[in-house]
Chains A and B, each alone.
Chain A
Amino acid sequence: MNPSASHDQLRDLKDQAQYDFTTEVDYTYRSRKGIGEDIVREISALKNEPQWMLDFRLKALDIFFKMPLPEWGVDLGALDFEEFYYYMRPVKQKGHTWEQVPGAIKDTFNRLGIPEAERKFLAGVEAQMDSEAVYGSLKREWESQGIIFVDMDTAVQQHPDMVRQHISKVVPIADNKFSALNSAFWSGGSFVYVPPGVDVKIPLQAYFRINAQSLGQFERTIIIAAAGSNVHYIEGCTAPQHSEAALHTGVVEIFVNKGAHARYTTIQNWSRNVYNLVTQRAVVEEDGAMEWVDGNLGSGITMKYPAVILKGPHAHGEVLSIAFAGDNQHYDAGAKAIHLAPYTTSLINSKSISKGNGHSGYRGLVKVAKGAVGAQSKVVCDALLLDPESRSDTYPYIDVHEDDVQIEHEATVSKISEEQLFYLMSRGLNEEEAAAMIINGFLEPFVKELPMEYAVELNRLVQLQMEGSVG
């Protein structure tokens, strides 16, 4: 081994250590291991919820038990619902300044760079560890414009009517087994309301941290962009590598009202032992626009299909995603665009990289309902395979009930070309640097959509994934 290689490995170890650490937390509450109605009731009682929310949860639990696991996509054979803790509360009370957050937990988020990012370029931050938000703050200039950015539990207490009007309206409880599971056990997540015409010029960020072993994290998020408003919400996710699996099952529902614009960006860097089974969907009214910018790198097993329901005329939806499946990772990810109104447009651009025995699949649905004349949809899937045993699949479903529409689908599968590698190496880049440059180029259309700080972060995560892949 040459000295530079060992140094690189040290640096990489350090990089992984940035996320891979467990915080000693004296949990103020932890439910028993396993699933059951008693836990649903416990959670609801601890949160002091109104009866309607308890009823909602119990109904969802009933549906969950009745629904089968999906038989397509990823292998969930090893998933045992009795092996998780469904609720762990790390703090007695959420802080509104970082000083109010207990030392070890504050240190965790410091290490993850959240307070620094908040000071520099965010409008507000919600930080969640395990089942509960531990910190939340919205800068005064945004709060004074009537923006609401709180955790979902606070929203149930302070804005119950708004929550009740919107929860499960885009993602029904019975949409799938995991949306039912989330509806029964949800805790934390964000509630965002942006008043009509208000433009939140800098992003709101939610950071989700799984700390405990065998945790189930079930955050629930609702974002309402009122008519003519604009909002960009970013979620970051990390977890340490435990020996036992963790379960992350979030549900996100977004309401983009007339002429509004919302963007939801995810940089998902869960650890390999996390099942990431989430349902994310937006409904877009007339002239509104929704963009999902979805970066998936960490979790071991993932099912995720961000969706746009284009309900009003001229509504527009985009799903721009990347998935990087390294060894022992399987992504079944994709997008859905449902065109319900005339002249609606959608663009889906999915990029995947598979390395080692990594396996990434694109599963997408474009549906055009009767009457959605003039609808246009374009789907582009690009897969890059780094090794002979890497795998990529594409399952595009198209369901069109209107004649006057325009649907395009393109898919490419490629390898890093020998000619490109040679060219870059002939200029002095070593093989690993050359391959990383080609891969960064492949991801560039995605990365350029990210705020600069996140672009830097994503490039670094890609480098981590690339470690030892060539040479």
Chain B
Amino acid sequence: MECQTLEIQELHVSVEGKEILKGVNLVVKQGEIHALMGPNGSGKSTLSYALMGHPRYEITGGDALLNGESLLAMSPDERARRGLFLAMQYPVAVSGVTLYSFLRAAVSAKRGYGEAARASGNQHRQGHLIPARQFRQEVNEELEKLRMDPAFLRRYLNEGFSGGEKKRAEILQLALLKPAFAILDETDSGLDIDALRIVSAGVNHLQQEQNMGLLVITHYQRILNYIRPQFVHIFLNGRIILSDGPALVDRLEKEGYEWAQEEFGEQQ
């Protein structure tokens, strides 16, 4: 099988007329783990939202390709169905929608149950959904891996969830949707050390099992002790200013971002 890639080419993104991303270049191949590190406000989350297709983020130049095909004209759901996933830093609450029904609808959409039902003329009320029994089994397995209480499924999506619960719910979605490429946006924030360990183990397991391409966005090195990147990129002022191997993480941890700013920030 051909190697899948997520390729970002000279991407420029504006929000409300203000340019945030100023020419981002990055290639993530299937099976690779990349870390994107940068201080708050450097535009890391803008990159993740723009890749997923948030309507408020306007692409003013460049391109983003999934397996050679531009994502830019695709709606967020098309991007998701083609194998892109974003674990969000601040997932929103949707009142009245249980986590269970949301997950079941999302898994069904991703795996094409709706289209299959339409193609075969299946008119059954739940024909567009993954069979309940099969789904229940899958979701229970994933809940166990993430040490989550099944009662969680009956709660309304992200409503009243603690920071840590939200992050676990994001990773639960990742586990069920099994994307080819996942972006984890500040997944470590809000997680205590035990939760971080469990969530990271879950991500690592999936990454290996699915040979997933991962882009881990963070401003601490903490999560990178558990999810080990092969490539590390420093992100500053809307650009990647430096890319290197895992040793870069330690240097950032010891010396902060300032040296990188001084050495590499000006020249672009």
Contacts and interface: CB of A to CB of B under 8 A. Distances in A.
Interface of A: 3-4, 7-8, 11, 14, 417-420, 422-431, 433-434, 437-438, 440-445, 456, 460
A418 B52 CA distance: 14
Contacts, number: 93
4 closest cross-chain pairs (CB), A and B: A441-B96, A444-B96, A428-B109, A427-B106
B257 interface: no
B230 interface: no
Interface residues of B, number: 36
Interface string B114-144: 1100100101010000000000000000000
B80 interface: yes
Interface string B75-96: 1110111000110100110111
Nearest to A445: B96
B91 A423 contact: yes
B55 A428 contact: no
A422 B106 contact: no
Residue from B92, B123, B173 having most chain A Cβ neighbours under 10 A: B92
B218 to A, nearest CB: 20
Contacts of A434: 77
A266 B81 CA distance: 40
Contacts of B147: none
B124 to A, nearest CB: 11
B121 to A, nearest CB: 8
Contacts of B173: 427
A15 to B, nearest CB: 10
A427 B80 contact: yes
Instruction: Tell which of B52, B53, B109 has the most Cβ of chain A within 10 Å.
Output: B109
B86 A419 contact: no
Contacts of A427: 77, 80, 102, 106, 109-110, 173, 177
Interface of B: 52-56, 75-77, 79-81, 85-86, 88, 91-92, 94-97, 101-102, 105-106, 109-110, 114-115, 118, 121, 123, 125, 156-157, 173, 177
A425 B77 contact: yes
Helix, strand, loop or mixed for chain A's interface?
Answer: helix
Contacts of B75: 425, 430-431
A196 B52 CA distance: 62
Given A422-B54, A427-B106, A429-B109, A444 B97 contact: yes
A424 B102 contact: yes
Contact of A441 (B88, B97, B125): B97
A419 B121 CA distance: 33
B70 to A, nearest CB: 18
A437 B115 contact: no
Given A426-B86, A429-B106, A442 B95 contact: yes
A426 B96 contact: no
B55 A11 contact: no
Contacts of A424: 94, 102, 106
A8 to B, nearest CB: 7
Nearest to B107: A428
A430 B77 contact: yes
10 contacts: A423-B94, A426-B88, A428-B106, A429-B106, A434-B77, A438-B94, A438-B97, A441-B94, A441-B157, A444-B96
B43 to A, nearest CB: 18
Contacts of B106: 424, 427-429
B97 A431 contact: no
A7 B114 CA distance: 11
B104 to A, nearest CB: 11
B94 A420 contact: yes
B109 A11 contact: no
B177 A437 contact: no
A428 B91 contact: no
A430 B85 CA distance: 15
A7 B118 CA distance: 7
Nearest to A427: B106
B105 A8 contact: no
Contacts of B53: 422, 425-426
Nearest to A459: B125
A355 B88 CA distance: 30
B96 A440 contact: yes
Chain B CB within 10 Å, residue with most, of A429, A444, A445:
A429
A298 to B, nearest CB: 20
A441 B105 CA distance: 13
Contacts of A441: 94-97, 156-157
